[in-house]
Chains A and B, each alone.
Chain A
Amino acid sequence: MKKIYLIIIFGFLYIPILTLIALSFNRSGLPTSWGGFSTEWYVQLFQNEKIFKALFNTVIVATISTLIAGILGTLLAMGMEIKKSNKFVEATAFIPMIIPDIVLAIALLSFFTLLQLTLGLHSIIMSHVVFNTAFVCAVVRTRFKYFDHNIIEASYDLGGKYTITFIKIIFPIILPGVIAGCLLSFTLSFDEFIIAFFTAGAGSSSTTLPMLIYSMIRFGVTPEINALSTFIILFSFIIVLISQRSVKGKLLI
C-alpha cells in the first residue's frame, strides 16, 4: 500500500518534468504526435543569441547579489546570535522571506520610480539582495545552534582579539552554513521572475532568463523552450546534488 501510494505521488511529481524532457527530443515539437527522436531543438537553442544574453545577465545578477547577500546575511546572523537580538531585528530579518513577491516587486518599482532611478541589471541586483540576505541569515543562524557560545570568550581569554577570533574560530565553524546559504541565494536569484520583471526597466539589455522564459511561454511558444527547460531542470538537479555532496559531511553534525 505504501509503495503504491508513493509511486503515484512520485508519478505526479515527475511526469510533468519527464514530459518536457521527452518533448525536447521530439522532432515535431508538439505533444500531439511523436515525430521521431531529434536533437534539432537543442541545435536551435544554442544558436539563439537572446537566450545566451539573458543567461549571461542572470548569472551576473545571481552572482553579484549572492556575494553581497552572503556578506550582509552572515554579518546579520552573527549579530543576531552572538548578542541577543530584539524583536525589530528578528522581524526585519524575517519579513523578506514571507512577503508575497508581487508586493515586494511593486513596492520596489514605486521606490525606484520615486527616486527617479534608472532601472537595469543594477536595480535587479539591489532588489534580489533583499530576500537573499534574509535567506542567508536564516541558514547561517542554524549553524549557530551547534555552537557553544563560550568558545568565543575562550578565544578572547587566550589572547585572540576580535578579528582573529572571527577568522580562526567563528568563521570556520559557520562556513558550511555560509556555503549552503549562498547556494540557496544563487538558486533563488537565478530562478526569480517577478521582482526582476518589475525592476529591470525597459530595454532588452536587462532581461534575465526567467523574464525571457516568461515571454516565451506567454507570447510565443516554440519547441526550443522544451530544450531550454530540460537544460534548466538538469542544471538545477546537478547543483542540488553537488551541494548535497560537498556540504553533507559538514552540515550533518
Chain B
Amino acid sequence: MIQLKNISKQFDKNYAVKDLSLEINDGEFFALLGPSGCGKTTLLRVISGFEVADQGQIFIDQENITNLKPFTRPTNLMFQSYALFPHYTVRKNIAYGLERERQSKEDIDKKVSEIILKTNLNGFEDRYPEQLSGGQKQRVALARCLIKKPKVLLLDEPLTALDKNLKEKMKVELKNLQKQFNITFIIVTHDQDEALALADRVAIMKSGELIQVGTPKEIYAEPNNHFVAEFIGKMNFFRKSKIDNDNFYFLDSSFITLPKNKVNNPEYVGIRPEDILLQPNGQNIFEFKGKILDIIYHGQENELIIISNISKEPIIVKCHKDQKLDLNSEISLYCENKSFRLY
C-alpha cells in the first residue's frame, strides 16, 4: 500500500504539487490523469525519487521512503522516451538492474530469458535499441523494470507516442502484465481514454491538486465538479437563466425540477450527449426542440450538433448511424430529469 501524505513541491514560487494526499492499494492499476502542467509528472518523479518533495512523506508498506534515493527505492520508472541504453543489447538492457543487485550470472540469465518470453521479445534479445520498433522498445523498457520486481511500477505516458492500433494492443498487454506480475502500476497520462480503459482507479489532477479520485465508472457517471465533467467524456453544459428553490430555468423559461439534495446555487446543469435521446424513454422526461446544425460521422455512431431554445451554445447529441436525419431539420429531444447533473 502506498501512502502519500501532504506532498508539496515548488519550482520557483509556483506549486507544482500542493498538499496532496493519496492512498493506493496493493496490486492496483492506478492512473494519474490531468491536463499538461497539472503536476502529475512531478508527482511521479517525487514518488520515484528524482525530485525531493518540499513537504510531505511517502510510505510504501508502512516504510517511510521519503528520503531514499532512486537507487534504493522499491520503485521503478518506465520513461516516456523509454531511455534504453543505446550501447547495450536488449538482453543487457534488461539484465542491468539485476547486475546492480549483484545476483549471480546464472540467475540473471535465467530471469532475463523468462521475462523476454513473457514480454514477447524472443528473437530480439541481441538487437540494439536503434534496431527496434517503438512497441518493441516499450516492451524492453517494461521488462527492464519488471524483472526487478518492484513494489510499484511507475509509467510516464506509456501510450502517448504510439499509433492507434499499437495503442490498443499495448493497452491489453499492459493490463495482462499487471495482473500477471501482480505489481501496483501507477500510470501518468493526459489521455482520458487510456486512463478509463486501463485503471482500476483514477485520480484527476489540476494545478497541483487532486480534484477527484474514483473508479472509471464513478468518475464518468458522477463527475463532482465542472472541471472533471468537462475533462472526462463529453458534456453539454447549460447555464441557468434563473433559479429558485424548486426549479432550474433554461433560456426559454422551460425548467427542470431540482432534486432535494441540490448543490447550493448551481450555476450550470450538465448532461452527457448519450443521455439526450431522440425518442422519449424512461421517467420524468424533459422535452425540448432544436435544429440540426451539423452531422459528424464517426462510423458506428454519429454526433449531431444541435442549436436549441434552451441554450445559446450548440448541444452535442449521439445517434446511431442508421438514423435518417437531414441538416437544418427540426427535431425533438428527450432526456430524463435524473440525467442532469448540477454544478
Interface residues of A (CB under 8 A from B): 148, 150-151, 153-161, 164, 168-169, 172-173
- Give the interface centre of B49, B83, B101 by most chain A CB atoms within 10 Å: B83
Of A151, A159, A172, the residue contacting B84 (CB under 8 A) is A151
Nearest residue (CB) in A for B48 is A157
Q: Does the CB pair A155–B79 fall under 8 Å?
A: no
Q: How far is the CA of A150 from the CA of B82 in the complex (A)?
A: 8
Q: Does the CB pair A153–B50 fall under 8 Å?
A: yes
Query: Which residues of A lie under 8 Å from residue B145 when comparing CB positions?
Result: 157-158
Q: Does the CB pair A159–B148 fall under 8 Å?
A: yes
Query: Which residues of B lie under 8 Å from residue A161 when comparing CB positions?
Result: 71
Of B75, B83, B87, B101, the residue contacting A154 (CB under 8 A) is B83
Q: Does the CB pair B97–A158 fall under 8 Å?
A: yes
Q: Does the CB pair A173–B148 fall under 8 Å?
A: no
- Does B85 make an interface contact (CB < 8 A)? yes
Q: How far is the CA of A156 from the CA of B48 in the complex (A)?
A: 10
The residues in B between 82 and 107 inclusive whose CB is less than 8 angstroms from any CB of A are 83-87, 96-97, 100-101
Query: Which residues of B lie under 8 Å from residue A158 when comparing CB positions?
Result: 76, 96-97, 100, 144-145, 148
Query: Which residues of A lie under 8 Å from residue B122 when comparing CB positions?
Result: none
Interface residues of B (CB under 8 A from A): 48-50, 69-71, 75-77, 79, 81, 83-87, 96-97, 100-101, 144-145, 148
Interface of A is mostly: helix
Query: Which residues of B lie under 8 Å from residue A150 when comparing CB positions?
Result: 79, 81, 83
| Selected A-B contacts with CB under 8 Å, 18 pairs | A150-B79, A150-B83, A151-B83, A151-B85, A154-B77, A154-B83, A154-B85, A156-B70, A157-B49, A157-B70, A158-B96, A158-B97, A158-B145, A159-B71, A159-B97, A159-B148, A160-B71, A169-B85
Min CB–CB distance B99 → chain A (angstroms): 9
Query: Which residues of B lie under 8 Å from residue A168 when comparing CB positions?
Result: 96
Nearest residue (CB) in A for B150 is A157
Q: How far is the CA of A150 from the CA of B84 in the complex (A)?
A: 9
Q: A160-B71, A173-B87 are in contact. Are A153 and B100 (CB under 8 A)?
A: no
Q: Does the CB pair B83–A160 fall under 8 Å?
A: no
Min CB–CB distance A172 → chain B (angstroms): 5
Q: How far is the CA of A164 from the CA of B102 in the complex (A)?
A: 13
Min CB–CB distance A167 → chain B (angstroms): 12
Min CB–CB distance A13 → chain B (angstroms): 38
Q: How far is the CA of A177 from the CA of B189 in the complex (A)?
A: 37
Min CB–CB distance B182 → chain A (angstroms): 21
Q: How far is the CA of A160 from the CA of B85 in the complex (A)?
A: 13
Q: Does the CB pair A164–B81 fall under 8 Å?
A: no
Q: Does the CB pair B97–A148 fall under 8 Å?
A: no
Min CB–CB distance A249 → chain B (angstroms): 13
Q: Does the CB pair A153–B71 fall under 8 Å?
A: no
Q: A153-B50, A153-B79, A154-B79 are in contact. Are A160 and B84 (CB under 8 A)?
A: no
Nearest residue (CB) in B for A162 is B71
Of B49, B69, B81, the residue contacting A148 (CB under 8 A) is B81
Q: How far is the CA of A84 from the CA of B75 in the complex (A)?
A: 27
Nearest residue (CB) in B for A172 is B87
Q: How far is the CA of A157 from the CA of B75 in the complex (A)?
A: 8
Nearest residue (CB) in B for A173 is B87
Please list the 7 inter-chain residue pairs (A to B) with the smallest Cβ-Cβ separation, ordered nearest first: A159-B100, A150-B83, A158-B97, A154-B83, A156-B70, A151-B83, A150-B79
Q: How far is the CA of A148 from the CA of B75 in the complex (A)?
A: 21
Q: Does the CB pair B96–A153 fall under 8 Å?
A: no
Query: Which residues of B lie under 8 Å from residue A156 when comparing CB positions?
Result: 49-50, 69-71
Q: Does the CB pair A148–B71 fall under 8 Å?
A: no
Query: Which residues of B lie under 8 Å from residue A169 when comparing CB positions?
Result: 85
Q: A153-B50, A173-B87 are in contact. Are A160 and B81 (CB under 8 A)?
A: no
- Give the interface centre of A154, A160, A173 by most chain B CB atoms within 10 Å: A154
Query: Which residues of A lie under 8 Å from residue B70 when comparing CB positions?
Result: 153, 156-157
Q: Does the CB pair B83–A153 fall under 8 Å?
A: yes
Q: How far is the CA of A173 from the CA of B86 in the complex (A)?
A: 8
Min CB–CB distance B81 → chain A (angstroms): 5
Query: Which residues of A lie under 8 Å from residue B76 when comparing CB positions?
Result: 157-158
Q: Does the CB pair B83–A148 fall under 8 Å?
A: yes
Nearest residue (CB) in B for A146 is B86
- Give the interface centre of A150, A157, A168, A172 by most chain B CB atoms within 10 Å: A157
Q: How far is the CA of A153 from the CA of B71 in the complex (A)?
A: 10
Query: Which residues of A lie under 8 Å from residue B71 when comparing CB positions?
Result: 156-157, 159-161
Q: How far is the CA of A151 from the CA of B93 in the complex (A)?
A: 11
